[in-house]
Structure 1
Amino acid sequence: MSETIVGAGGTVRAVIDGGVADVRLNRPEKLNALNNAMFEDLLEVGLTVRRWRGIRAVVLSGEGRAFCAGLDYSAFSAMAADQDWREPETDRRELLDPDDDLVELNRGQRAACVWDTVPAPVIAAINGPAFGGGLQLALTSNIRIVAPEATLSVAEVRWGLIPDMAGTQLLPRLVGMDVAMELTLTGRVITGEEAARNGLATRVADNPREEALALAREIAEKNPDAVRAAKSLLDSAWYLTIGEGLAGERRAMAKIARSPNQREAVAARLAKRKPVFSDDSTLSELPT
């Protein structure tokens, strides 16, 4: 039986079925552009997904013909008039625990980075424009599948701004500093094909969402303890020394080996049957 989550503003919805959270930005008439409601809904739905123990993989996509066209034009109109387009009274910071690392971030950073904190892998399916904040949202995903004709741009410089939703930190890790510098300083629009060639996208597919959901379901059939631990270890490889990373592997393996889900994986493989894993395992949050 599936479950549906809808943000308070109605701009982000998620359908959870079979351990997969199908999350969709839901402002198709505005190319899923980011407004105050969507920033809040991304955080709200992201936190719900993060806390839902049974979620094993996440697909993040946009309704209609765009992934996310970036900041809503109404915000730029307000900037031109020297007005503040933000609504601080609806910041939704109250959704966070006081010791959550997201507390110190700004609203845009929280809306994007919450997806990076989900224990399960997150797959972005980019079927059309992913500009500015929309591209930065995709960068916080672990895997990005794009349509060949999709268009992507670090567009902030066109509006006299800088990326401030983790783009300056995540983009160089994917494409290298020189390519990140060029894309950020020019706002150049690239296709899905070019994004895949330079490492910004994982691969190209004619139907990114369909491919992403198929991949998510495949991952959801694996030992969830192993998947979560592997994701955590790979994420930490960006900032840990190799010695610290190796120590994290040892700790994770000590917890996973001979655990109920790992024994089920072995038994199912030997019996050539589909494994039945539990999401109630105490290994759901493996420290590395």
Structure 2
Amino acid sequence: MKDRVSITMLDDGIADVRFIRTDKMNALDTAMFNGIVEAIEQLKTMKGLRAVVVSGEGRAFCAGLDLSSLGKNEDNDDAVTKDPTRSLGARTNGIANRAQYVAWGWREVPAPVIAAAHGVAFGGGFQVLSGADIRFIHPDTRCAIMEMKWGLVPDMAGFPLWRGNVRDDVLRELTYTNREFSGREAQEMGFATHVSDTPYEDAMALARQFAQKNPDAMKASKRLFNIMQDATDAELLQAESDEQARIMRTPNQMEAVMSQMQKRKPEFTD
């Protein structure tokens, strides 16, 4: 992971996650797939985590699949790890395969994940971006649902992640044509939350806000958002009640109230 993805823990429990394959514009080779999966697994069990900011170093967020590096390994018992594109049907990471997990896995990190994109976000890289809870994007970022260019379909969790964010006909056109669009267009269409000239700085500022909220309520809210599109009204109403019942009158919930009343920085515990 160390030569593909870095994790730096900042004050207030913020994880600064960066793609660092700068010589290849952070393109997804096998080592990058595995590095992102490892980073997500670390974040899922990290104590004191309050928010995550994901960005790419160098000229791009992520240029998508590095096609030249994949599919070169011989079949063996560890083939999926050595090449995540080999076994697409197997659910190797929960409800996802390993290739899908580099995008879908951010939804399984308990704390909110904020992405900051610049330069290029193509294909698989655009799907990785889409996995974040909140997405800041530079207006000049080059974006594309690129897979049709290579005679393929988007298959790294794009469809479930884009569902509800983008109009169906717009998504169909972008998929069928694989045309490029800008970061500003991405925000206008619903792919991105905010367009920003300084996406990393704005993402980090929002992460600091998140870090001052009751972490139990933040995690519960994320769980509710994760089921919102598929649950029935009755299931979602019950889930709201269950989550609230687990939070009310707990030490962190009371600390949220007291810190507001006393106008001071909250001190939460895991």
Q: TM-score of the superposition, structure 1-length normalised? A: 0.85
Paired amino acid for 2:143: L
- The change in CA–CA distance for 1:86 and 1:226 in structure 2 (over 3 A counts) is farther
Query: Structure 1 residue 235: deviation in Å?
Result: 1.7
Query: Structure 1 residue 169: deviation in Å?
Result: 2.3
Contact map agreement 1:143 1:201 (CA 8 A) in 2: yes
Q: Quote the residue 1:150 is aligned against.
A: 141
Contact map agreement 1:172 1:179 (CA 8 A) in 2: no
Contact map agreement 1:67 1:126 (CA 8 A) in 2: yes
Per-residue CA deviations over 1:22-76 (Å, capped at 9, x if unaligned) read: 101111111100000000011011100111131111111101110000011414x
Q: Quote the residue 1:233 is aligned against.
A: 224
Contact map agreement 2:92 2:98 (CA 8 A) in 1: no
What is the alpha-carbon distance in structure 1 between the residues aligned to residue 163 and residue 257 of structure 2? 39
What is the alpha-carbon distance in structure 2 between the residues aligned to residue 176 and residue 65 of structure 1? 30
Q: Which runs of 4+ in 1 moved over 4 A?
A: none
Contact map agreement 1:125 1:208 (CA 8 A) in 2: yes
Q: Quote the residue 2:27 is aligned against.
A: 33
Q: Quote the residue 1:211 is aligned against.
A: 202
Contact map agreement 2:146 2:175 (CA 8 A) in 1: yes
Query: Structure 1 residue 173: deviation in Å?
Result: 2.2
Taking only the aligned residue pairs, the percentage that are identical comes to 46
Residues 1:85 and 2:85 are matched in the alignment: no
What is the alpha-carbon distance in structure 2 between the residues aligned to residue 222 and residue 196 of structure 1? 26
Query: Structure 1 residue 107: deviation in Å?
Result: 2.4
What is the alpha-carbon distance in structure 1 between the residues aligned to residue 148 and residue 24 of structure 2? 21
Per-residue CA deviations over 1:150-197 (Å, capped at 9, x if unaligned) read: 111000100111111011222232102111111111111111111111
Q: Which runs of 5+ in 1 are unaligned?
A: 1-6, 79-83, 94-99, 280-288
Q: Quote the residue 2:87 is aligned against.
A: none
Residues 1:61 and 2:52 are matched in the alignment: no
**Corresponding residue SS for 1:276:** coil
Residues 1:190 and 2:181 are matched in the alignment: yes
Contact map agreement 1:145 1:201 (CA 8 A) in 2: yes
Q: TM-score of the superposition, structure 2-length normalised? A: 0.91
Paired amino acid for 2:31: A
Paired amino acid for 1:160: G
What is the alpha-carbon distance in structure 1 between the residues aligned to residue 188 and residue 22 of structure 2? 28
Paired amino acid for 1:57: A
What is the Cα-based RMSD across aligned positions, in Å?
Answer: 1.8
What is the alpha-carbon distance in structure 2 between the residues aligned to residue 190 and residue 103 of structure 1? 32
**Corresponding residue SS for 1:125:** strand
Query: Structure 1 residue 113: deviation in Å?
Result: 1.8
Q: Quote the residue 1:11 is aligned against.
A: 4
Q: Quote the residue 1:284 is aligned against.
A: none
Q: Quote the residue 2:128 is aligned against.
A: 137
**Corresponding residue SS for 2:16:** strand
Contact map agreement 2:73 2:79 (CA 8 A) in 1: no
Q: Which runs of 5+ in 2 are unaligned?
A: 83-90
